[in-house]
């Protein structure tokens, strides 16, 4: 019985989650943008240390642009997809531009690391450099996925709308409801007749 209740609770939570996504399919690319931002933010120290050691032109600028434009992309996203309204096209275009600049800054930064590695030896104390390289590669992929998912919001919305999230009532529950209704009606009729006889 407890297991059945747990399963029903899980199914209901799943149904509510899908209903929420049906109403706001743009939350899917937003989640991807959040993941990309978290990945970069949590490794910012490695990126800063890499900039200090490699010390190539525009590395500091790229680092700053990635962080700033990632934050601005969130602002643009929230304004591009207001609640219960159609997407605002100029803000959507701005969002694409900001995400594209972030990805471009990632590529430039990686190219600067590649240049620096030609003259810098990686030892135990400089392991943060290849780690920053790997992280930035992952970050580019996540940003690219965010852009693709933003473009696919209409398709995602249509796909989600095809999922049946209606609440199904079991047949035995319908029968029991009908029986209770019949019993109640019969009791009411019996009570009415008794009242008439007494009068």
Query: 18-51, pLDDT tens digit by residue?
Result: 777 777 888 889 999 999 999 999 999 999 999 9
Q: Is the pLDDT of residue 2 over 70?
A: no
C-alpha–C-alpha distance, residues 22 and 163, integer Å: 9
How far is Cα 111 from Cα 107, in angstroms, rounded to an integer? 6
Residues 78 and 96 in one domain: yes
pLDDT interval class at 168 (50, 70, 90): low
98 and 7 share a domain? yes
Task: Please tell me the pTM assigned to this model.
Answer: 0.75
Q: Are residues 91 and 175 in the same domain?
A: no
> Do residues 38 and 135 touch, judged by C-beta distance below 8 A?
no
Same domain, 120 and 178: no
How far is it, in rounded angstroms, from Cα 154 to Cα 177? 41
pLDDT exceeds 80 at position 171: no
Give how many domains the chain has, as a whole number: 2
147 and 176 assigned to the same domain: no
Residues 6+ away with beta carbon under 8 Å from 137: 110
State the virtual CA torsion across 113, 109, 36, 162 in degrees, nearest 10: -110
Say yes or no: 108 and 179 in one domain: no
Binned at pLDDT 50, 70 and 90, residue 3 comes out as: low
Q: Which of 24-38, 137-151, 182-196 has the lowest mean pLDDT?
A: 182-196
Spatial neighbors of 24 by CB under 8 A, at least 6 apart, are 81, 83
Residue 68 structure tokens? 């700033």
Contact status, residue 76 vs residue 108, Cβ threshold 8 Å:
no
pLDDT for position 24? 83
Q: From its phi and psi, is residue 117 left (phi > 0), alpha (psi between -120 and 50) or beta?
A: alpha
The whole-number pLDDT of residue 5 equals 65
Return the percentage of the chain with pLDDT > 90, whole number: 51
Query: Do 66 and 146 reside in the same domain of the chain?
Result: yes
98 with 191, same domain? no
Distance of alpha carbon 183 from alpha carbon 181, whole angstroms: 5
**Residue 64 sits in the same domain as residue 26:** yes
The domain of 178 spans 169-199
Between 59-68, 115-124, 143-152, 157-166, the lowest mean confidence (pLDDT) is in 157-166
């Amino acid at each position: 019985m407890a297991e059945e209740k747990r399963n029903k609770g899980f199914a209901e939570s799943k149904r509510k989650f899908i209903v929420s996504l049906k109403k706001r399919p743009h939350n899917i690319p937003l989640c991807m943008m959040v993941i990309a931002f978290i990945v970069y933010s949590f490794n910012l120290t490695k990126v800063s240390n890499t900039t200090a050691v490699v010390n190539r032109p525009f590395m500091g600028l790229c680092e700053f642009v990635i962080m700033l434009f990632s934050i601005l992309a969130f602002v643009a996203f929230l304004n591009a997809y207001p609640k219960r309204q159609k997407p605002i096209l100029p803000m959507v275009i701005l969002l694409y531009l900001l995400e594209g600049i972030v990805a471009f800054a990632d590529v430039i930064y990686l190219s600067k690391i590649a240049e620096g590695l030609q003259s810098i030896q990686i030892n135990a104390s400089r392991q943060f450099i290849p780690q920053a390289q790997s992280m930035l590669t992952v970050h580019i992929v996540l940003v690219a996925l965010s852009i693709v998912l933003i473009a696919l919001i209409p398709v995602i919305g249509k796909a989600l709308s095809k999922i049946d999230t209606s609440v199904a009532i079991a047949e035995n529950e319908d029968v029991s409801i009908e029986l209770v209704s019949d019993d109640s009606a019969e009791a009411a009729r019996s009570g009415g007749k008794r009242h008439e006889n007494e009068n």
